[in-house]
Amino acid sequence: MPEGQPAPSDGSLPEQARSELSLRPLGIYVHVPFCLTRCGYCDFNTYTAAELAGEPGSSRAGYVDAAIHELGLAARVLGGNAPTVSTIFVGGGTPTVLPPDDLGRLIAAVDEHFGLAPDAEVTTESNPESIDSAGLHRLRELGYNRISFGMQSAVPHVLATLDRTHTAGRALRAVGEAKAVGFASISLDLIYGTPGESSNDWVESLRAALSAAPDHISAYALIVEEGTRLAARIRRGELPSTDDDDLADKYLIAEDLLTAAGHTAYEVSNWSMSAASRCRHNLGYWRSHHWWGIGPGAHSHVGGVRWWNVKHPRAYASRLASGMSPAQARELLSVEQRRVERILLELRLADGLTTSLLTSTEKSRLVDLVARRLVVVEDDMLILTRDGKLLADGVIRELLD
């Protein structure tokens, strides 16, 4: 996390940021910092029951009350200028370790405090083994209309290396169950490049995911995060490191198989069957809309102000209980920082980036990038090519340097 500057203890925002509220949609992210077990590759802000045992104020049972408390604070800070909420995304961690009725209370509280747009997209993440058909049915009744399951792989030895506790079959059945109870959109998350995964293993995972016909698939290159069990195993030589060429090959395999099955990549790592099945909440991040992140460690952005909450569930609960904002620190972005951030994010989208955001020096660098077939310019939109997507970070560096 960046260091930032101190955030006001009442959570207040500069008037300039609040004055932008009506200009762009507002999304609410709710972080659920609990998992049944920790996967060896994951460094998200999440805790098992054993890790939280004896930590006052950090029980699962009280968590939704604390999150609703922060929603009340958000409504007071944003005031009457806030637009109705157009997307809610409950992520984790594993939101579905909480009872569906608790997850439903989050939607009701957003509606009560802000109003929820009639066509709002309301997503929860879920681990396939943490929910059953009855639970999915209840989530639908309570207003969830989109669900994202972490499948990661269909191959037993890959799932084992990732410490996943579900089978591929369970992930695929969960998609069928979610369809049967009427979820409008269903996504599967996959990871490629796990040590020991062959290209054939990756093809098998993609084919299995496609066989369940979700309307959205995210495929992420495995990141070996410092401090994780996976990183330690690689350092000790128990597992091979990830390899950039292997990751690039697997990205292209994903693009080919998913495209052949009717999906389109609308962002570098996200494919959907139609424009309607794109994740509107995540598009809000990439398009610099406003979002308020509820929960320990959650990040927020409103009108060029970015802030992040204290990380530990105990600290989070105790701040709210004493009437303080859980924000740990914040950054007030300058006009130039906001422009650069838009370039970083929007270039990852298939719709591309308007060239009007670029300075004349940056525009002059486009000639070379176009000649090397890393980008194209169509109707004043700058769009990464297939090769450009493999080198997205490098393209952005060259453009901005």
Ligand X SMILES: C[S@@+](CC[C@H](N)C(=O)[O-])C[C@H]1O[C@@H](n2cnc3c(N)ncnc32)[C@H](O)[C@@H]1O
Pick out residues in 202-221 that bind ligand X (CB under 6 A): 220
Residue 223 interacting with ligand X (CB under 6 A): yes
Q: Per CB under 6 A, which region of 38-46, 70-78, 297-305, 336-344 contacts ligand X? A: 38-46
Q: Round to whole Å and give the CA distance between 30 and 90.
A: 5
Residue 51 interacting with ligand X (CB under 6 A): no
Residue 96 interacting with ligand X (CB under 6 A): no
* Residue 140-159 contact track with ligand SF4, rule CB under 6 A, x = bound: ----------x---------
The radius of gyration of the chain from alpha carbons, rounded to an integer in Å, stands at 21
Residue 79's region, left for phi above 0, alpha for psi from -120 to 50, else beta, is left
Q: Round to whole Å and give the CA distance between 31 and 95.
A: 8
Are the C-beta atoms of residues 313 and 319 closer than 8 Å to each other?
Answer: no
312 DSSP assignment = S
Do the bridges between strand 185-192 and strand 216-221 make them parallel or antiparallel, or are there none, so unpaired? parallel
Closest CA relative to residue 11, chosen from 294, 290, 282: 294
Residue 125 interacting with ligand X (CB under 6 A): yes
Grouping H, G, I as helix, E, B as strand and the rest as coil, residue 191 is: strand
Closest CA relative to residue 153, chosen from 119, 207, 191: 191
Residue 161 interacting with ligand SF4 (CB under 6 A): no
Q: Round to whole Å and give the CA distance between 163 and 156.
A: 10
Residue 191 interacting with ligand X (CB under 6 A): yes
Member of 32, 46, 358, 390 binding ligand SF4 (CB under 6 A): 46
Member of 25, 92, 295, 304 binding ligand SF4 (CB under 6 A): 92
Residue 124 interacting with ligand X (CB under 6 A): no
- Residues with Cβ within 8 Å of 17's Cβ and at least 6 positions away in sequence, in order, are 302, 303, 304, 305
Work out how close the CB of 3 gets to ligand X at its nearest, in angstroms, rounded to a whole number: 24
* Residue 365-384 contact track with ligand X, rule CB under 6 A, x = bound: --------------------
Interaction partner, residue 38 (ligand SF4, ligand X, none; CB < 5-8 Å by kind): ligand SF4
Are the C-beta atoms of residues 244 and 391 closer than 8 Å to each other?
Answer: no
Work out how close the CB of 225 gets to ligand SF4 at its nearest, in angstroms, rounded to a whole number: 10
69 φ, ψ (degrees, to nearest 5): -60, -45
Q: Per CB under 6 A, which region of 31-39, 136-144, 255-263, 285-293 contacts ligand SF4? A: 31-39
Residue 13 interacting with ligand X (CB under 6 A): no
Closest CA relative to residue 261, chosen from 247, 272, 277: 272
Member of 26, 39, 172, 219 binding ligand SF4 (CB under 6 A): 39
Are the C-beta atoms of residues 298 and 309 closer than 8 Å to each other?
Answer: yes
Q: Round to whole Å and give the CA distance between 341 and 70.
A: 27
Q: Which residue is nearest to ligand X (CB)?
A: 150
Q: How many residues bind ligand X (CB under 6 A)?
A: 16
Residue 218 interacting with ligand SF4 (CB under 6 A): no
Dihedral through CA 212, CA 215, CA 220, CA 225, nearest 10?
A: -90
Q: Round to whole Å and give the CA distance between 299 and 350.
A: 25
Are the C-beta atoms of residues 142 and 101 closer than 8 Å to each other?
Answer: yes
Q: Per CB under 6 A, which region of 9-17, 91-99, 175-183, 273-281 contacts ligand X? A: 91-99
Residue 221 interacting with ligand SF4 (CB under 6 A): no
Q: Per CB under 6 A, which region of 90-98, 199-207, 253-261, 347-355 contacts ligand SF4? A: 90-98
Q: Per CB under 6 A, which region of 34-42, 74-82, 139-147, 322-330 contacts ligand SF4? A: 34-42
Q: Which residues bind ligand SF4 (CB under 6 A)?
A: 35, 38-39, 42, 44, 46, 92-94, 127, 150
Q: Which residues bind ligand X (CB under 6 A)?
A: 41-42, 44, 91-92, 94, 125, 127, 150, 152, 189, 191, 220, 222-223, 225
